[in-house]
Structure 1
Amino acid sequence: MTQQAHERFEIPPEMRSMAETGFKQARETFEKLLAGAEAAAGSFEERGATMRAGARDVGTRAIAFAATNVEASLDYAQSLVHAKDVSEVMRLHSEYVQAQMRALAEQASEISQAVSRAAIDATRPKH
C-alpha cells in the first residue's frame, strides 16, 4: 500500500463496533475467570487451615491419651510391686486389662469423632 492509501484506510464502524464488543466480552470473561480462580485459591487456603486445626486437635488428643495410658501402666506396675500373692496379681491384672480396654474404646471413639468433625469442617462450604 502506498502511504496515501495507508493513511486513508479505515475500519468500517460496524466492524469496529463488533471488535470492541468482542474485546469487552473477552475482558469480562477473563475477569470472571480470574475472580473464580482467586476465590478457589482462598477456599483452598481456608480448607487447609481448617484441616491443620483438625489435625492439631487429633494430635493433641492422641498425646493426651498416650500420657493417660502410660500413667495407667505405671500405676499398674506399681500396684504389682505391692501385691501380696499370685491371686492379687491376677486380680490386679484383670482389673487393669478391663480398665484399659474401656479406656482404649473411649479414646478410639473420641479420636474417630474428632477426625470426622475435622473432615466435615474441611469440606463445609465457606460463605
Structure 2
Amino acid sequence: MTKDDMRFEIPEHLREMADQGLDQARKAFEEYVSMTHGALGNIEAAASTAQTEGVELNKQAVAFAEENINSAFDYAQKLCSAKSYDELMQLNKAFIEKQMEIAGEQARVMSDKTANAASQTARKFTEK
C-alpha cells in the first residue's frame, strides 16, 4: 500500500456543507451582536430618560416642599396675630382645609409625573 493509497480526501459536498454551516453560524452571530448593540442602545436611552425624569421629579418635590413650608410660615404668622381662641380655631380650620386641598393636588401632580416618567422610560426599551 502506497502513501497515495492511504491518503484520505474529504468529499467536495462535505466541504461545501461545512462552509455553508460556518457561513450560517457567522451570520447568526453577526445578527446576535447587532441585536445586542441595539438592546444596549435602548438600555442607555432608557437609563438617560429615567435619570432626566428623576431629576424633574426631584425638582417638583423640592418645589412642593418649599411651597408647603412657606404656607406653614404664613400660617404661623397669622396665628401670632390672632386675638381670640375662636380666631385661632378659624385659622387652624382654614389652614388644614387648604393644606388638604394642596396635598391632594400635589399628590395628583406627582402621580402623573411618575406615571409619565415610567412610560417614557419603558418606551425607550421598545424603540428601535
User: What TM-score do you get using the length of structure 1 for normalisation?
Assistant: 0.90
- Equivalences for residues 1-127 of structure 1 within 5 A: 5=4, 9-124=8-123, 125-127=126-128
Q: Deviations over 1:36-63 (max 9, x none)?
A: 1111111111111111112111111111
Q: In the aligned structure 2, how far is the partner of 1:109 from the partner of 1:25? A: 54
The runs of 5 or more residues in structure 2 that have no matched partner are none
- 1:10 positional shift: 3.6
1:12 and 1:78 mapped to 2: Cα distance? 98
Moved over 6 A (4+): none
2:112 & 2:61 partners in 1: Cα distance? Answer: 13
* Aligned-residue CA RMSD (Å): 1.9
| CA–CA separation in structure 2 for the residues paired with 1:100 and 1:15 | 82
Q: TM-score, normalised by structure 2?
A: 0.89
Q: Deviations over 1:59-113 (max 9, x none)?
A: 1111100000000000100111111111111111111111100000000000000
Query: 2:104 & 2:57 partners in 1: Cα distance?
Result: 16
Shift of 1:9: 4.6
